[in-house]
Structures are given as structure tokens and as C-alpha cells.
């Protein structure tokens, strides 16, 4: 086994264990991985790319439950081009001794120091975290069904959190009114106290809401521009033309998971179309209305693209977001793939108790659906036939009252089902 320097028996296999599993738990796995070599009481990974849960945490709840995105964003800006920081910083409302690393993927690692000196050089820690940060970026960029389902569930949770934050500040404003009406303060004292309370509350509210909105949503023009840049890099050395329709007009903002899925669909289709020898042009267009985002791609090849198989590959991530995908190929004229992604979040209807009707084997199958696997793969992993898997999938859909595998995966993820390894 290869070992990593720093006084801890860190093996490549152990690092692989960190990367595998549910993305939201990667902070806990990385904390356990480096805990002996870098003693810490809390760990936070902050990435702006994860629209659902930008914070991955482990350790002392008094710290990880109170650390704010505003604090992490301020630390990220403070580090700037200095990728490694050892010293004090404000975390969870207090100045604490920390190790902080900003990876080139713009992903931040914060370790709140505890007793004992690190036996691992920070440069080694930075290299290890670089692997973790890259794995996070790849999983987000690939927009797997499991990631999209988790992201959508967390976005709904974020909306509720913002609503609760608004209620908190409404209570603050009520306190201001009570201060102004107080008979125990002079007019001058009451006005000064009320002004300070109101100003602080409003600044915090606006800052928190703006940061949360920035992390969970993406302007359609920005999302489209990012897709153009990604696709241009993919086909730089190809001989066909990549034509883009104008970006959708207006300032409409997309849920982050919708933007990720739309870019992933576009990448997958363009790469498949690029493999055709007769292709000369691929056209990419997005259209947005009040209800949905449509991603439409067409080529001018001979129409022999196996569009049906391509649709099957892309369908799980589209259906996870309760969208639809269709294809058509016309001999001599080319092929077309179109995906429609609804912008509205599904009505909350699932809690862990909704899985109570599932048999143990059906729960296992659901965990594989959350991981985005096909029936054949599930059968091989469970040691059963593909027809048996189909039977169990049908039972899962019926008992969860959903129509598609993607919907079942979303329901399972919302209810806390971990993707099967």
C-alpha cells in the first residue's frame, strides 16, 4: 500500500473510502481520515458549486451547527491567493484557532484545532484535500441522479431555513417597537437602541438571504454562458461547428440543480453527436418559460445516431428532477435530443415513515435507485436476476406512489436513503 507522509498510516485505499459514498457525508469521512494526524474538534468543507448543501461538516455540533456561510465566504476571500492559513479566524460566532486550505477548485477546508500538534505537514494536507475537492467538483459536474436528488431536497430545506430566518428578524423588529414604546428609556435612548437593533438585524437578514440565494440559484444567462465555455473546451480539437442559439432573455434565475442537470445533458449529447463521422454542425438551444427549462440539441449528420440509447443514459438524471426527455432521428437529416426540466420544486410529501411499507429487499433496491443504477447493475450487485429486480422496482414505485425510477430516487434521498455502494 502506498503511504502518505505525516506520521499517519494513510493508504490509497483509505483515501478511496473517503471519496466513495454520499456526497453530503464526505466531510465526516475526511475528518476521520486525517483526524489522528491533524487533531481537530470540527471540520467544514465549503464549496459554492454544491447548490443544495454547500457545507459538508463533521465534529462538535456547537461549532458546525452555528458556522455560517457568511463567515466561510469571508474566510475564503481573506485567503485569496494564499492557499494555506494557520491562525485565528471567526468561526461559529467566535475567534478560533484553525487550519484553512483553499483549493484551486475554490473549495474551502476549515479545521478547528483541538489539543495536540499536527504530525502532518499542511502541504500534505493540502494535497490530500485537493483530491477530495476534485472529486466533489467531478460529482457535481457530472450531475448524477443521486446528487441531483440530494440537491433538490436540500434546496427545499434551505428555503424553509430562509423563511425561519425571516421570522426571526420579524421578531427582532417587534423588539424594536417594544423598545420605542418602553417607559423605562428616554426618547433619545429608545431611538438609539432601536436604530442599532434594526440596522444590525436588517444588514444580517439581507446578507444571509443574498448569500443563500446566490448559492442555491444561478441566473439563466450565467448558466448558459458556463455551458458554452464547457462545451467549447470539449470540442476544441473537433472538426465540426458548435452553434449556439441566443441565451434565453431576461434575468430569470434557475435552481442550481436544474442548471447543473441542463449542462450535464448538453455535454452528454454533444459528446455523443461528435463521435459521428458525418456530423458537420451541432446546434444547442435553451428556452425558458414560467414553468420549465428546455434543452434542445440537434445535429446535421445522417440520422444514424443511437438516440434511443443516449436517451436511456440521460433519463435517470432528468427524471430525478421530474423532467422528461425525448429523441428523434430522421435518415439523411440528423438527430435531435430534447429535455424539459420543471423549475418548480415538487410539493413536499415524503418523510422517513413513508418507507415503512417497503420490504427489506425493496429498501435495498431503492438504495441502488438513489445511486442511479440500472436493473442489470442492481441484479449483479444483489446476486439476483434482472427480472427479479424489475419486480422489486415495480413494488417500490407502487408503494411510494410514484411513476418513474427518478421520482423514486428523489423520494428515497429526501427520506434519508443513502446511495448503495
- Predicted local distance difference test score (pLDDT) of residue 40: 95
Residue-averaged pLDDT of the chain: 79
- Predicted local distance difference test score (pLDDT) of residue 141: 67
In this structure, is residue 123 part of a structural domain?
A: yes
Residues of the chain with pLDDT under 50: 1-3, 5-9, 157, 160, 210, 348-352
Residue 13 CB-density burial (10 A; 0-12 exposed, 13-18 middle, 19+ buried): exposed
- Final residue before a domain boundary, out of 168, 199, 216: 216
Angle at 268 (CA atoms; ends 328, 154), nearest 5 degrees: 110
- Final residue before a domain boundary, out of 216, 233, 267: 216
The alpha carbon of 32 is separated from its chain's Cα centroid by a whole number of angstroms, namely 22
CATH number reported for the structural domain that contains residue 367 in this entry: 1.10.10.10
Q: Does residue 227 share a domain with residue 302? A: yes
Element (H, E) at 283: strand 281-288
158, 164, 169, 175 alpha-carbon torsion, rounded to 10°: -170
In this structure, is residue 207 part of a structural domain?
A: yes
- Final residue before a domain boundary, out of 216, 238, 256: 216
Q: Does residue 156 share a domain with residue 133? A: no
Q: Does residue 132 share a domain with residue 11? A: yes
DSSP state of 302: -
Q: Which domain holds residue 400?
A: 352-414
Closest CA to 327 of 341, 343, 340: 340
In this structure, is residue 421 part of a structural domain?
A: no
Q: Which residues of 131-152 are buried (b: 16+ CB within 10 A; e: fewer)?
A: bbbebbbebbeebbbbbbbbbb
Q: Does residue 337 share a domain with residue 246? A: yes
Q: Does residue 245 share a domain with residue 274? A: yes
Element (H, E) at 274: helix 256-274
Sign of the dihedral defined by the CA atoms of residues 225, 229, 234, 237, in that order: positive
DSSP state of 65: T
Q: Does residue 397 share a domain with residue 315? A: no
Residue 244 CB-density burial (10 A; 0-12 exposed, 13-18 middle, 19+ buried): middle
Q: Does residue 204 share a domain with residue 243? A: no
Query: d(Cα 45, Cα 109) in Å, to the nearest integer?
Result: 5
Q: How many CA atoms lie within 13 A of 288 on its CB side?
A: 20
In this structure, is residue 260 part of a structural domain?
A: yes
- Predicted local distance difference test score (pLDDT) of residue 329: 85
Q: In this structure, are residues 34 and 8 in contact, taking their beta carbons and an 8 Å threshold?
A: yes
In this structure, is residue 14 part of a structural domain?
A: yes
In this structure, is residue 419 part of a structural domain?
A: no
Whole-structure pTM over 0.85, yes or no? no
The alpha carbon of 352 is separated from its chain's Cα centroid by a whole number of angstroms, namely 21
Number of domains in the chain: 4
The partner residues of 108 in beta bridges, in order of sequence, read 46, 102
CATH number reported for the structural domain that contains residue 10 in this entry: 3.30.450
In this structure, is residue 125 part of a structural domain?
A: yes
Q: Does residue 157 share a domain with residue 71? A: no
Q: Does residue 176 share a domain with residue 275? A: no
Q: Does residue 132 share a domain with residue 12? A: yes
Task: For residue 90, give every residue at least 6 positions away whose Cβ sits within 8 Å of its Cβ, in sequence order, or none.
Answer: 71, 74, 75, 96
Amino acid at each position: 500500500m502506498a503511504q502518505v507522509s505525516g506520521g499517519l498510516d494513510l493508504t490509497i485505499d483509505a483515501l478511496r473510502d473517503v471519496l466513495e459514498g454520499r456526497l453530503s457525508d464526505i466531510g465526516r469521512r475526511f475528518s476521520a481520515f486525517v483526524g489522528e494526524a491533524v487533531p481537530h474538534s470540527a471540520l467544514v468543507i465549503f464549496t459554492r458549486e454544491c447548490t443544495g448543501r454547500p457545507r459538508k461538516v463533521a465534529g462538535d455540533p456547537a461549532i458546525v451547527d452555528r458556522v455560517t456561510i457568511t463567515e466561510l465566504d469571508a474566510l475564503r476571500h481573506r485567503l485569496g491567493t494564499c492557499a494555506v492559513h494557520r491562525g485565528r479566524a471567526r468561526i461559529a460566532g467566535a475567534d478560533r484557532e484553525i487550519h484553512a486550505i483553499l483549493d484551486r477548485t475554490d473549495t474551502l477546508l476549515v479545521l478547528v484545532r483541538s489539543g495536540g500538534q499536527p504530525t502532518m505537514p499542511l502541504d500534505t494536507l493540502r494535497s490530500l484535500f485537493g483530491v477530495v475537492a476534485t472529486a466533489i467538483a467531478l460529482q457535481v459536474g457530472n450531475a448524477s441522479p443521486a446528487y441531483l436528488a440530494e440537491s433538490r431536497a436540500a434546496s427545499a430545506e434551505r428555503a424553509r431555513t430562509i423563511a425561519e430566518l425571516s421570522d426571526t428578524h420579524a421578531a427582532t423588529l417587534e423588539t424594536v417597537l417594544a423598545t420605542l414604546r418602553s417607559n423605562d428609556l428616554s426618547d433619545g435612548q429608545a431611538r438609539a437602541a432601536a436604530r442599532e437593533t434594526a440596522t444590525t438585524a436588517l444588514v444580517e437578514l439581507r446578507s444571509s438571504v443574498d448569500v443563500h440565494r446566490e448559492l442555491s440559484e444561478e441566473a439563466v444567462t450565467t448558466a448558459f454562458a458556463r455551458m458554452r465555455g464547457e462545451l467549447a473546451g470539449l470540442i476544441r480539437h473537433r472538426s465540426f461547428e458548435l452553434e449556439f442559439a441566443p441565451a434565453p432573455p431576461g434575468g430569470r434565475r434557475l435552481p442550481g440543480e436544474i442548471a447543473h442537470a441542463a449542462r450535464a445533458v448538453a455535454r452528454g449529447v454533444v459528446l455523443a453527436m461528435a463521435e459521428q463521422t458525418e456530423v458537420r454542425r451541432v446546434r444547442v438551444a435553451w428556452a425558458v418559460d414560467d414553468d420549465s427549462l428546455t434543452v434542445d440539441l440537434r445535429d446535421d449528420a445522417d440520422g444514424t445516431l443511437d438516440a434511443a440509447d443516449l436517451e436511456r443514459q440521460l433519463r435517470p438524471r432528468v427524471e430525478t428532477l421530474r423532467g422528461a426527455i425525448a429523441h428523434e432521428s430522421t435518415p439523411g437529416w440528423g438527430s435531435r435530443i430534447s429535455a424539459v426540466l420543471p423549475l418548480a420544486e415538487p410539493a413536499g410529501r415524503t418523510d422517513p415513515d413513508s418507507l415503512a411499507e417497503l420490504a427489506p429487499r425493496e429498501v435495498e433496491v431503492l438504495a441502488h435507485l438513489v445511486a442511479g443504477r440500472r436493473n442489470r447493475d442492481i441484479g449483479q450487485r444483489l446476486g439476483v436476476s434482472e427480472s427479479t429486480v424489475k419486480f422489486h422496482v415495480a413494488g417500490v414505485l407502487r408503494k411510494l406512489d410514484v411513476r418513474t425510477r427518478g421520482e423514486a430516487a428523489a423520494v428515497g434521498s429526501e427520506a434519508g436513503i443513502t446511495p448503495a455502494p
